[in-house]
Amino acid sequence: MVQILSKKRRVVITGIGVVSSIGIGKDAFWDSLKNGRSGISRITAFDPSAFTTQFAGEIRNFNAADYIDAKRLKRMDRTSQLAVACAKMAVEDAKLDPRCNGRERTGVIIGTAMAGHGYILDQHKTLMQKGPMRINPFTALASFPDACASNVSIELGVTGPSFSIATACSSASDAGGYAFDAIRNGTVDFLIMGGAEASIYPGILAAFCVARALSTRNEEPEKASRPFSRDRDGFVLGEGAGMMVLEEYEHAKKRGAHIYAEVLGHGMTCDAYHMTAPDPEGKEAVRAIQIAMTNAGVTPNQIDYINAHGTSTVLNDKIETMIIKKVLGSRAYQIPISSTKSMIGHLIGAAGSVELIATILGMDYGIIPPTINYSVPDPECDLDYVPNQARPAKISIAIKNSFGFGGKNSILIVGKI
């Protein structure tokens, strides 16, 4: 039953779970971020020798059996495994038992662009080699797009709204926006929100290679993702997941929860321009940031940090720089900006959540993570990208930008309490 509220409620983040190529768990993830460590290396999941790009942000040493019962594990694809592991980390970090804290008032919203794709590709290979009766009997269940959210709901035993969002590279940030609205408007009290993506499969890598979207620095993969640097040559594919517990502020305060940040506002628009190229004028991306700022009630002078979409592609970085300047004017030159994709690669549907976690950890510790591999200034990218080394800074209000294929623009604004 939906609560009817006369006043908008405040929404805070009280739990974090993350699995990435630079660390499993928030502490390992943050230690790598602040020290500027790259998680990009030659692919080991399969032989990449035939591909023009042979590296990615691949997760090492992740054992899904540490988080999921063996029987259930067989019924999940890798994306769901990452999502469930991170959700359990986030709930534990929040010191929350959803079954005892209102399972009916707890929901799950997960962003993912390609959930199940890799699983289907693997099973198709089995089909071609061994015949139709040899594919995994759980293929239909493991590969449907909403399996991530369903698996997290089942594992945590929560019965509130449960769904996945697939809006390409803005999926997880859109999940954050919908989660914010659901708690603020009283639909639920808690939401396990985030994104998950397992994209390092031959068929997926091949698709991006033939699209010529990826960096080809095979001789130095750890230096391949170089957002805003003039010598950037494409993005780096990454895998991972980031999940957060969002809850109503008064409840979090009453139970003495550690509050990482408050979600202040969000904005969503679509360029309606092209499937891959951003609108060269950036009109709708500008409007998305303006909507988010109005929603949050903040002005350019209050922004302390921007975690950029920053993919390391020629067009994206140039146009994102222009967009920031159009929105913030001269203030844009005074705001530190960084792209954590320089360390973890592009997690596609999970990018927004993992990068939001980087943002709120930076806020919590008072440190801005760097944009590594920045070596050659680009006159068209002339802002402060926190090059190569982390920087101590007080962050009270931050913007997280996400821009997706198909012209999707999704912006989240968070603040420190």
Q: Hey, what are 267's tokens?
A: 């904005």
Residue 4 binned pLDDT confidence (cut-offs 50, 70, 90):
very low
Pick from 226, 173, 218: which is nearest to 348 by CA? 173
Identify the pLDDT of residue 116: 86
Residue 398 pLDDT > 60, yes or no? yes
Looking at 117, 148, 346, 381, which residue is catalytic?
A: 346
Per the annotation, the verdict on 346 as an active-site residue is: yes
3-state secondary structure 64-121: HHHCCCHHHHCCCCHHHHHHHHHHHHHHHHCCCCCCCCCHHHEEEEEECCCCCHHHHH
Domains of the chain: 11-254 (3.40.47.10), 267-415 (3.40.47.10)
The mean pLDDT of 269-286, rounded to a whole number, is 96
Identify the pLDDT of residue 317: 98
Identify the pLDDT of residue 101: 67
Residue 146 pLDDT > 50, yes or no? yes
The mean pLDDT of 59-78, rounded to a whole number, is 94
Question: Which range is least confidently modeled, 133-142, 160-169, 209-218, 248-257?
Answer: 133-142
Looking at 117, 251, 266, 309, which residue is catalytic?
A: 309
What distances in angstroms separate CA 2 from CA 19, 104, 188, one per listed residue? 33, 11, 8
Residue 2 binned pLDDT confidence (cut-offs 50, 70, 90):
very low
The mean pLDDT of 290-315, rounded to a whole number, is 98
Per the annotation, the verdict on 169 as an active-site residue is: yes
With a pLDDT cut of 70, the percent of the chain lying above it is: 98
Residue 347 pLDDT > 70, yes or no? yes
Residue 343 belongs to what H/E stretch? helix 341-344
Q: What is the mean pLDDT of the chain?
A: 95
User: 370-393, pLDDT tens digit by residue?
Assistant: 999 999 999 999 999 999 999 999
- Quick count: other Cβ atoms within 10 Å of Cβ 387? 18
Identify the pLDDT of residue 1: 35
Looking at 86, 169, 209, 381, which residue is catalytic?
A: 169
- Rounded distance between C-alpha atoms, residue 314 and residue 288, angstroms: 22
The mean pLDDT of 107-134, rounded to a whole number, is 92
